[in-house]
Chain A
Amino acid sequence: MTREPAAHGPGRVEPSRQTTPPVGSTGGSALVVEHLTKRFGDRLAFDDVSFEVGYGEVFGFLGPNGAGKTTAVRTLGTLIAPTSGSAQVAGVDLCPENGPTIRSRISIMPESPGLYPRLTVAENLECFARLYRVADRHERIERALRAVDLAERAGDLCRSLSKGLRQRVALARALLSDPAVLFLDEPTAGLDPVASREVHELIAALKDRGVTIFLTTHRLEEAERLCDRVAILNTAIQLVGRPDELRARLFTRTLEIRLRSELADPAAVFSGLGGIVGWATSAADSYLLTVADDPDRAAPEVARALVHAGADICSIVEARHSLEDVYLELIDEDVEARKR
């Protein structure tokens, strides 16, 4: 496989970013969404969605195909009108008259990059810089290209670029106007692992600069890696929270214990312990203990009890659930709920 030059590790993003709300906004939150619903005929795209996103936050919309992620982005971006509910985007009420005002404060990187294939990278960006009416056009274009490490490719026709590079041009285009909220709709869809990682690094760099980002994805590790908070969407919002909070809320926390040999009477060892609410044998010499709240407090106590019982401890670790477990749990539950 040949990779384009120009990729000397992306992520070089200019420092100095404001995380303050834009002029003229009411302050507070970058996005306030209340009971927003969109129907296409009798098909429900998303239903009764409510959430809030603060400035400087990276908020993830995580959901399977058809969950309504793209429709939600288009609705908040004023491209389509909601059926009911209300929202404030970058401090402006979501309604048809405010469309241009809202769109001037945000930018959206759609699902497919949508570059003009017969125009060069720089010509594509120039068109959009004019559409946003940015003052220092050429400087902005240069800066955006440098941010995605594509300065050397400015003169290339877009149709000659690989998918990964096109995605980076689309990201540069979204950065031109210094948006108060940046919407990224599945920014790594269809990219290979290397190209995905490059885009992840770019987004992480934007996050460090304090850019408010609304990111949709069906890739869990992406949400887990980049997002401060995640909403799990499947037409309706199933759960909102920090990735670790979601994990904690959905799963009991457990300690995984492995010993040199089996315990003679595990019940006698584990039942009396304060922080432990249950236990099970997972293999001959391994046990799973369900922790009431804090595994860090329970672990030393468990270790002492085991040593006291004469056991040789190989390891005591907290069993970690990835967001994937949370996600599958919710989506599965939902499918079952629908069958009923």
Chain B
Amino acid sequence: MKFSWSRVIAIVQKEFRDYRRNRFVIATMAATPVLFLLLPMIQLIAANTAGNTAHLSLRIGLSLLYMLIIPVTVPSAVSAYSVVGEREQGTLEPVLTTPIHREELLIGKALAAFIPTLLIAYAVFGIFLAAATAFAHPAIASAITTAAHVLVQLLFTPLLAGWAIWVGIAVSARSTDVRAAQQLSVLASFPPLVIVALMSLNVIGESVTLAIGLGAALLAVDLLAWRFVAAMFDGEWLLTGSRG
């Protein structure tokens, strides 16, 4: 029996149907983008009155950084729930009794967190760019829409989300308590953001080459995390939270 995308789709579809009627998920997915759209907007408005360029670029860096919190928090809250939540609810065992492969379940769960995150984060960035071009001072607008900035946002959104998802699922698989899992995984999702922050805030100079280099490194870390999670994603762990 080999890997089947139709089983992956079954999991994704199930998760989406569940989100739709899950107030916690709706609230997380709605509130986070609103918050992280407002914060950069405020930076932008504040930047209009600011004078020197160092100050301006710090404001811009900060507003872009705020938007990168979305791919860290949204998926980690959802994926931290994914295993332990279903185990508590008793819905994990029936799924594991089907011919599903561990990887199919894992990818299904990950995609179900990844797809909405990417949509939300890109939408927020799009709205932010549109607002900046329309309302901000032309100098500020052009400072925001540089190739390096746009690249950092487009590239790091999925990569940060990937890390947050694998960490969330790994924590979830080994937890016996939903809330502890969520707190731990949000915390564990932030470290890669620090590197991006250093770059955004001009502690390390931002450039297209550096962004691509860091992006490649983060991609490698994500792939390693996937292999790690897949290896520990063993039935007995999933079912009981401990190994027999």
A interface residue numbers (CB < 8 A to B): 38-41, 74, 77-81, 83, 99-101, 103-104, 107-108, 110, 112-119, 123, 126-128, 130-133, 157, 170, 173
Q: Which of A41, A79, A117 contacts B96 (CB 8 A)?
A: A79
Number of A-B contacts (CB under 8 A): 98
From known contacts A40-B244, A123-B14, A130-B9, infer whether A77 and B99 are also in contact, taking CB-CB under 8 Å.
no
Whether the pair B18, A110 counts as a contact (CB closer than 8 A) is no
CB distance from B11 to the nearest CB of A (A): 8
From known contacts A116-B91, A133-B6, infer whether A80 and B236 are also in contact, taking CB-CB under 8 Å.
yes
Task: A107-B97, A133-B99 given; name 5 further pairs at CB < 8 Å.
Answer: A103-B98, A115-B91, A118-B20, A126-B10, A127-B10
Q: List 21 A-B contacts (CB under 8 A).
A: A40-B244, A79-B96, A79-B97, A79-B239, A80-B235, A80-B244, A81-B244, A100-B1, A101-B1, A108-B94, A113-B94, A114-B89, A114-B94, A116-B14, A118-B21, A127-B14, A128-B10, A131-B10, A133-B99, A157-B21, A173-B94
| B100 interface residue per 8 A CB criterion | yes
- How many angstroms from the CA of A118 to the CA of B86 in the assembled complex? 12
Give every chain A residue within 8 A of B239 (Cβ-Cβ).
Answer: 74, 79-80
Give every chain B residue within 8 A of A83 (Cβ-Cβ).
Answer: 244
Q: Which of B4, B17, B236 contacts A118 (CB 8 A)?
A: B17
Whether the pair B10, A130 counts as a contact (CB closer than 8 A) is yes
Whether the pair A117, B6 counts as a contact (CB closer than 8 A) is no
Whether the pair A116, B18 counts as a contact (CB closer than 8 A) is yes
From known contacts A79-B93, A114-B89, infer whether A101 and B99 are also in contact, taking CB-CB under 8 Å.
yes
CB distance from B104 to the nearest CB of A (A): 9
| B191 interface residue per 8 A CB criterion | no
Give every chain A residue within 8 A of B91 (Cβ-Cβ).
Answer: 114-116
From known contacts A116-B18, A118-B18, infer whether A133 and B4 are also in contact, taking CB-CB under 8 Å.
yes
From known contacts A78-B235, A80-B236, A123-B17, infer whether A110 and B244 are also in contact, taking CB-CB under 8 Å.
no
Whether the pair A133, B7 counts as a contact (CB closer than 8 A) is yes
| B223 interface residue per 8 A CB criterion | no
- How many angstroms from the CA of A103 to the CA of B1 in the assembled complex? 11
Whether the pair A100, B18 counts as a contact (CB closer than 8 A) is no
- How many angstroms from the CA of A217 to the CA of B235 in the assembled complex? 24
From known contacts A127-B13, A128-B98, A131-B98, infer whether A117 and B89 are also in contact, taking CB-CB under 8 Å.
yes
- How many angstroms from the CA of A115 to the CA of B93 in the assembled complex? 10
Give every chain B residue within 8 A of A132 (Cβ-Cβ).
Answer: 98-99
Give every chain B residue within 8 A of A101 (Cβ-Cβ).
Answer: 1, 99
